[in-house]
Copies of this chain bind each other. A is one copy, B any other.
Amino acid sequence: MDFRSDNVAGAAPEILAAVIAANVGAVTSYGGDPLTLQLQAKVAALFETEVDVFPVVTGTAANALALALLTPPYGAIYSHADAHPAGDECGAPEFYSGGAKVVPLPGADGRIAAATLAQAIAAAEPGTVHHVQPASVTLTQATEAGTVYRPEQIAALAAVAHANGLGVHMDGARFANAVAFLGCAPADITWRAGVDALTFGATKGGALAAEAVVLFRRERAAELGFRRKRAGHLLSKMRFVSAQLDAYVTGGLWLRLAGHANALARRLGEGLAGVPGVTFRFPVEANEVFPEMPEAMIAGLARAGFRFHRWGGPGSRTLRLVVAFDGREADVDALVAAARRLA
């Protein structure tokens, strides 16, 4: 009954099976294998446009590579203050970009508002040589608050960004959860809305370790290949990563798994909503629930064997409950029941 993160889960059987199936015979290394080659077309079909796809093994790497492509060393990267590039990657964007500055922005429910971005860019006085130059914005979809940017919100942000010469990156560690929630086409919240580069996450969604940088603006794709190699993220036996991504996007597996997690999170949210003393920090949209509870209830849940993180540091009474792709209804119901008992 582990609600700490979608990272505590293992891998989906279909994805593991694909890894096993990929272990046949000798193939060209470093991404010259058939699985990697065909992945380009599969992802292009998924997004209904030409793309360049660069598989890697962590979201941090995918984010940092994409941001380094969009941001010169003297650039500013705008990020929600709670988003991973701002505070949970130990400075990866700074490292990969050669010392750019990540500027944290506030925003309700984990989202940046277009007006906030516009204001921040203006405050940076672009062109003034004393200040880092606004270069990119990164949007987390679904957000760290478990909410989901709507297509028009993304379009508004991208419009501000592009009008000011910034590139738009989307950190899609939980991209599947966002698409499953919105019921839209993947294109609707990416390139059609103005996203230039996407971290297409699969690890949280059921892979062992597989993410991909997906470039919609392709003119600098070659550069990403060199940056990936130089970062040690070009795997020699790439087939084993590509196999995961292939299985993930095949037959709608990714949306099935994400839809399942979302549904259980909704069930968890609705269940807790009925518990006296429980309120919610953020609306439940993707696969995370942020209930605020009395300390006694929190302690009781912990004693009962439920595992979770507090949101906002040790003292906080807000929990972050994450339902993974393989979450079980019984666990969700058990938590709700326990909370009710403790109320």
User: A-side interface residues toward B, CB under 8 Å?
Assistant: 2, 4-5, 7-11, 16, 19-20, 22-30, 56-65, 72-74, 87-92, 94-95, 97-102, 123, 125, 127, 129-133, 203-204, 208-209, 222-223, 225-237, 239-241, 307, 313, 324
Contacts and interface: CB of A to CB of B under 8 A. Distances in A.
**CB-CB nearest 8 A-B residue pairs:** A61-B232, A94-B99, A7-B29, A2-B26, A98-B98, A7-B236, A60-B232, A74-B226
Contacts of A5: 29, 236
Contacts of A58: 232-236
A151 B99 CA distance: 33
Given A9-B26, A10-B22, A73-B98, A90 B226 contact: yes
A203 B57 CA distance: 15
A192 to B, nearest CB: 28
Give the dominant DSSP class at A's interface: loop
A304 to B, nearest CB: 16
29 contacts: A7-B236, A10-B24, A10-B27, A11-B23, A11-B240, A16-B20, A26-B324, A56-B232, A58-B233, A58-B235, A58-B236, A59-B236, A72-B226, A74-B91, A89-B232, A90-B129, A90-B131, A90-B230, A92-B230, A92-B232, A95-B98, A95-B99, A95-B231, A98-B98, A101-B102, A127-B222, A209-B236, A231-B231, A232-B233
A320 B165 CA distance: 31
A78 to B, nearest CB: 15
